Amino acid sequence: MDVARFPERRRLYSTEPGVQVLAIEQSPLCEPVAHLVLLHGLEGSHEARYMVSMAQVALEAGYRVSRLNMRSCGGTEEFSPTLYHAGLTSDLRCVLETLRGESSHPLFATGYSLGANVVLKLAGELGETARGLVSGFCAVSAPLDLAACVREISKFSNRLYEQRFVSRLKDRYGRRHQAMPEQFPADGLAAVRTVYEFDDRFTARAFGFGTADNYYATQSSVGFLNGIRVPTLLIQAKDDPMIPFAVFEADALQQNPFLRLLAVENGGHIGFIARSGPRFWQDAVILDWLAEQMAAAARLV
């Protein structure tokens, strides 16, 4: 990241009483053509490589960029007394509404992995009202069906991915327990070995979902795709080890004209490495799509 040309600014957004989320914001060298908000994946932060890469490319193209951390991520545990989850859309919505109130520039949001589920779910929740807020959404490697994706992650071939996720989730929860033991009871934490067990014992309990199954059923973005009413791009690799491509056979992806699925044979999970140019292939694809949406909007004026 070229911070000499594009200095970083830390900004805290108050999204609800007692909760703040951190965004790292940067401006281009010219008048911004649009504002792009980026949201990371499970146990990620504004420092994720795919976030930094996309931000650099977008800044070069004249976009203002905000790399948003989910609550308690990116070293912000002191700013939130709660965790985050795959369907927590209120923080992103608050940030987008704040930015819309400050500027008339086109506003877009792009999510990666778990952040992609948040972005798509919010788009569906907003429905028609999204048109006055954002110009479009983009989702990269979106776990549309959380239950199906957790089952995929639990396969033997993905044991290293799952171990890494579980270790980070347990570490974060353990820190919350140390700070607020009554609010975050840690009974059974040491025995957790899978993402499903963590969600069933801790995520679901923390947010009142009851069980992991209910959490997945109510927070999966696949149930919100029909409600999306602004241009939305989904980028997905068929060989993603954590997301079975069958979830992209949802009826909404064929029937909702606001959705465009760009499916490629290879790329893994947010692993679309480019042969030249930007490190990640999806960066240029997203920029082209953003430009297309702005050009289409300009023709309607």
Q: Which residues does 212 contact at the CB level (< 8 Å), separation at least 6?
A: 150, 196, 199, 200, 203, 204
Which of the four pLDDT bands, split at 50, 70 and 90, describes residue 135? very high
CA distance linking residue 228 with residue 182, whole number of Å: 39
Of the chain, the percentage scoring pLDDT greater than 70 comes to 96
Pairing between β-strand 63-68 and β-strand 136-140 as defined by DSSP bridges? unpaired
Q: Which of 113, 135, 141, 221 is catalytic?
A: 113
Count CB neighbours of 98 within 10 A.
14
Known catalytic membership, residue 27: no
Question: Minimum mean pLDDT among 91-105, 123-137, 158-172, 258-272: which range?
Answer: 258-272
Which of the four pLDDT bands, split at 50, 70 and 90, describes residue 277? low
300 membership: H or E segment, kind and range:
helix 281-300
pLDDT digits (tens, 9 = 90+) for 2-54: 888 999 999 999 999 999 999 999 999 999 999 999 999 988 899 999 999 99
Give the bridge partners for 264, in sequence order.
Answer: 237
**pLDDT mean over 248-277:** 82
Q: Which of 199, 200, 240, 283 is catalytic?
A: 240
Known catalytic membership, residue 113: yes
pLDDT for 75 beyond 90: no
Q: Which of 66, 199, 269, 283 is catalytic?
A: 269
Known catalytic membership, residue 240: yes
Query: Where do the CATH 3.40.50.1820 domains begin and end in the chain?
Result: 9-145+221-300
**Which pLDDT score is estimated for 268?**
79
pTM of the full predicted structure? 0.92
Q: What CATH architecture is 9-145+221-300?
A: 3-Layer(aba) Sandwich (3.40)
Q: Which residues does 19 contact at the CB level (< 8 Å), separation at least 6?
A: 71, 79, 80, 81, 82, 91
